[in-house]
Every structure is written in structure tokens, then in C-alpha cells.
Amino acid sequence: MTPTAPYEQEIRAAAAHVGRRRFLTVTGAAAALAFTTNLPAAGAAQAAEADARKLTENPFTLGVASGDPQPGSVVLWTRLAPRPYEGGGGMPDARVPVRWEVAYDEKFTRLAGRGRADAHPEFNHSVHIEPTGLAPDRVYYYRFRAGSWISPVGRTRTAPARGAHLSRLKLAAVSCQAYHDGYFTAYRHLAEEDLDVVFHLGDYLYEYPVDAAGGARRYTDRTLPDRFHRETVTLEDYRLRYALYKSDPDLQAAHAAHPFIVTWDDHEVENNYASDISEDDLPPAEFLIRRAAAYRAYWENQPLRRPQRPHGPDARLYRRLHYGQLAQFDILDTRQYRSDQAYGDGWHAPGPESDDPRRTLTGATQERWLIDGWRQSTARWNVLPQQVAFSERRNATGPGYQVSMDAWDGYPASRARVLAGAESAGVDNLVVLTGDVHVHYAFDIKKDFADPASRTAGVEFVTTSIASGKDGADKPANWGTYMAANPHLKFYNGRRGYVTVTLDRDTARGDYRTVSAVTTPGAPVRTAASFVTEAGDPGLKPA
């Protein structure tokens, strides 16, 4: 599909549904974006074909991707950018037709679908195709053509039919890929895994400056342009930063190998923002202009469907996907609707401010949607891909400990409502997938974290970062303290990597994959630990 509604109309439509204060901020965002996104010239199809023929350089520099699998459909993505590190990507300021093909085989001898769509300059010449009529639970191959250029081939997989009793599903969870902290070696290994789908749990990019040597990558064979050496603020900043990240060959390999289901955390906009409150407490109207730019660039660069397309500074990213009768995925957005961090953020002892029952991490609407969805769930496993640590994490034994005000620990009433909702909905097999913290953790989720004897309500697999935090260590300095202070913490590892989770009727198994280094390319991957939990009897055991 291609965008058809002019962006300004969307903003006006969105503004009509919000209150006066929100209207003002949305209008501000509209003004900022209108400056950089002009509307397409009318009736330019022939000119566009001509423009496509004029593409003298390969526009497929950012790879291909697929995502949000449904039983008969999966989103296909690419973006045209012959000179990816330039504003506009080296594309003409005109829409350019792109042809796409889906095939049963890698050589495209048997096609399952084909079509044409326009890549619009308003969306930075990104292309989001939502083909329909594909078969459920099936591997497909896809590619694009613009002018005489043909993209790399991507492999993807549709979701099984809603009623299907599939016997096994293998997914991976990834997060936190600070380009300037190291190579995406973990992605190279992820591309080789046998997976149905990959969940990206946030921090797909970081807003911080990247120097000419690519930070810890210490490039000697290339120099990154100055425009990356500043914090991302404007729409062009964010678009260019996606271009930098998307040009990474290991990231491209992972996207070309598996469909992704993505959600964002903070750094796609700004470190530790909360709703319309920025890290440095800018006026909300000003911060929402930045958020609008960041959300828009995110959608443009991810294999997301139309309902996820932002309207000014708002986007409906939380959503539900099903894999037959085996798994229901409720993908959360814990940034856009949250209360501000208590006690000014950071680590703090729990107290009346963080315990305030009015505080929320999800917002009331998303919380209701989640619990209602659980009530209707018939899935064996209810999986919650989300951003920040769900289980309690004390940083010291005994009284006087602190917890992170940015994670669910800073929103205990919100966590209690979600756990009570899961219990009342009869969710027996809850699996939470988490990113953000740049280390691997395995947790039993306790009904009362202060009481190790209390009921185990589910399990949490926390994936370490792809690159953030540089090489790391198997046992970080606080390893002994954390293990002692948190009896429900079953595993802690501070290397880079990802988690794979294999679900079948009886068990969920997590494999914690680590790479030995990211500041040098080519490190091998290993499994640092494996855990299983049994359906009907939650609690992690070494596998």
C-alpha cells in the first residue's frame, strides 16, 4: 500500500479528536512537519515513471524488511535512498513507482503476488506493502524494483490460521542497538537462526551524536558525515539516523531473514521521556514537535501497518497478534501514555510518590485493552512483548535498597493492576519479554515480590542489548548483589546478544545467546544459559 491521505489532513483530523491543549500541541507539530514535507504534485504518474527511469544509482541501500505477520498477510518494507547519508536520500522530490513481488521460492519462479505502489517523498520514499491472500504459516520471498534496480531478496513467514493447533513456535527478542557502541554481530548470528519471528523491544536507534569513526566501531576505512555528530531533534535528523542504522549489513541480514514485530522504547525519541514530558522538562508543546518527528521517522523505517502510522505526535503502536491457538502477543507501548517518573527518575527507594495508585505506565485505555484481550484469549501462552523490566529489581540486600523509577518498579500500582487483571482473566501461562537494561535476566514473576513464597504469576525473559554498553562481561560488578537481593532472579549476564524463546504445548524455553565482543567485528555466539517453564506450573528451571 502507499499513503494516500495528505499528512496535514491527518493532523487536522487528529486535532479534531483531542482537547484544546492537545490541539495546540498537535498544530505546533503540524507546522513543524509541514515545513519539511510538501504535498505531492497532482497527476504526476507519468512524470514519476520517468523519474524512476532516471534513477542512475542503486536506491536499495537500506535493505528490505517484513513485519507484523497475520495469517494471510505480512508487511513488506523498503526505502529508496541512493545516497542514504544525504537529506532526501538522493531521491527526486517526486513520487517514484516501485514494483513488488512475493514468491514461493527464492528464485521467484512461482509468484504468490505482485503489485505496484508509489514511494512518496512525504514519507521519505519508504514503501509499506500489505499484500493479502497469502497462505497462513508459510515462508515467502519478496523483492522490489524501482527503475532498472532490483532490491535484495527478503524471506518472511505469515502467521498460522487463528484456529491452528501448531505444535511449535520459535521467536527471538532483541533490543538496544547503540550503533556507536559496537558492531551488530548479534544480528549476523540471529539471521542464521531458525525462527518464525523476531520481536524488537525498543531502542532501535539512539539520539546521541555519532562521531566520524562510528564511536566504538573505530572505523578506519570510512568517515561518517558530520551530520551524525549531533543529537537527533528534527525530522531530517531522525530520518538520517535511521539511514545510518539501516545501512548496517548485519541489521539488513536479520531483517532479510525474518519478519519483525517492533515496538519502541525511549531512545527512538529521547532518553527516558514520559508521555509529553522530555528528559529536561521542555515545555510539552515543544517536546511534542520532536516526538512527532521521531514517531514519523520510526513508522517510515519499520515494517508497520497503516493503523500504526502516526497522527502528529500520536501513534497507536500497541497491538495484538495471534499465532494460532499457541500464542497471543499483546505488544505494549509503555512510553507514550505513562505518568512522569517518580522522584525525578533514576534509582530511588520506593515511597509514597512512586506508590501513588493514580500512576500508570500503560495509560488507562491500553491497560483496559490488555486485560479485556486476556479475557478473550484462548491461547496456550499469553506473551507480553514490552520495554522495561517488569519484575522487581532491588540494587541492595536488606532495607535501604533502591529500584529503577523508569521501569515497572517505579509504577507498582500499575504493575499490580496488570497482574490482578491477568489472574482474573485466567491467564495461567504469562510470558513477559523485556529489553531496555542491556543485560540478560531471567525472572519468576511473583504475585508479591517481597515474599518469595508467594504465587509465581508467570516468567520474564529479559534480553540484553544488541550493542548498547559495548562488550560487557558475563558477571558485571553488581552480579552477586543483584542475585542475593532478588531471589526471583534466576539468571543475570552482562554480555551483548539476544534471547530465543521456543513455545510448544507443554513448555516455554528461553535460550540466552551472547557474543564475546562487539567493539571488534566477527565474534562468535554461544548459549550462556537455558531455562524452561511448564504450562500450568509457572516458574523457571534450568534446561
Task: Report the SS3 class of residue 120.
Answer: coil
Of 203, 237, 333, 511, the residue at the interface with Fe ion (CB under 5 A) is 203
Residue 314 interacts with Ca ion (CB under 5 A): yes or no: no
Q: How far is the CB of 431 from Ca ion (least distance, A)?
A: 21
Residue 266 interacts with Ca ion (CB under 5 A): yes or no: yes
Binding partner of residue 468 among Ca ion, Fe ion, none, CB cut-off 5 to 8 Å per kind = Fe ion
Nearest CA among 485, 331, 505, 366 for reference residue 428? 505
Q: How far is the CB of 88 from Ca ion (least distance, A)?
A: 30
Cα dihedral 343/348/350/354 (nearest 10):
20
**Among 58-66, 305-313, 423-431, 433-441, which window interacts with Ca ion (CB under 5 A)?**
433-441
Closer residue to Fe ion in complex, CB, 386/456: 386
Cα–Cα distance between 405 and 389 in angstroms, integer?
A: 11
Q: How far is the CB of 265 from Ca ion (least distance, A)?
A: 4
392-397 contacts at long range (C-beta below 8 A, 24 or more positions apart): 392/446, 392/449, 392/450, 392/486, 392/488, 393/441, 393/482, 393/486, 393/489, 394/482, 394/485, 394/486, 395/347, 395/478, 395/481, 395/482, 395/485, 396/481, 396/485, 397/481, 397/484, 397/485
Query: How many whole angstroms from its chain centre is CA 353?
Result: 30
**Among 170-178, 249-257, 321-329, 483-491, which window interacts with Fe ion (CB under 5 A)?**
170-178
First to last CA, the chain: 44
Residue 444 interacts with Ca ion (CB under 5 A): yes or no: no
Residue 468 interacts with Fe ion (CB under 5 A): yes or no: yes
Residue 181 interacts with Ca ion (CB under 5 A): yes or no: no
Residue 265 interacts with Ca ion (CB under 5 A): yes or no: yes
Which grid coordinates are listed for 192?
Answer: 542464521
Closer residue to Ca ion in complex, CB, 276/436: 436
**Among 176-184, 207-215, 347-355, 374-382, which window interacts with Fe ion (CB under 5 A)?**
176-184
**Among 92-100, 327-335, 420-428, 431-439, which window interacts with Ca ion (CB under 5 A)?**
431-439
**Among 179-187, 263-271, 408-416, 458-466, which window interacts with Ca ion (CB under 5 A)?**
263-271
C-beta atoms surrounding 11 within 10 Å:
23
Binding partner of residue 266 among Ca ion, Fe ion, none, CB cut-off 5 to 8 Å per kind = Ca ion
Of 122, 250, 436, 444, the residue at the interface with Ca ion (CB under 5 A) is 436
- Residue ranges with strand state E in 35-89: 64-70, 73-79
Which grid coordinates are listed for 389?
Answer: 523490566
> Segment 8-37, which members bind Fe ion (CB under 5 A)?
none
Q: How far is the CB of 388 from Ca ion (least distance, A)?
A: 7
C-beta atoms surrounding 16 within 10 Å:
9
Which grid coordinates are listed for 313?
Answer: 505526535
Closer residue to Fe ion in complex, CB, 383/466: 466
By CB under 5 A, the count of residues binding Ca ion is 4
Contact map string, positions 198 to 237, toward Ca ion, x by CB under 5 A: -----x----------------------------------
Query: How many whole angstroms from its chain centre is CA 313?
Result: 18
Residue 333 interacts with Ca ion (CB under 5 A): yes or no: no
Q: State which amino acid sits at residue 56.
A: T
Applying CB under 5 A, the residues found at the interface with Fe ion are: 176, 203, 468
Applying CB under 5 A, the residues found at the interface with Ca ion are: 203, 265-266, 436
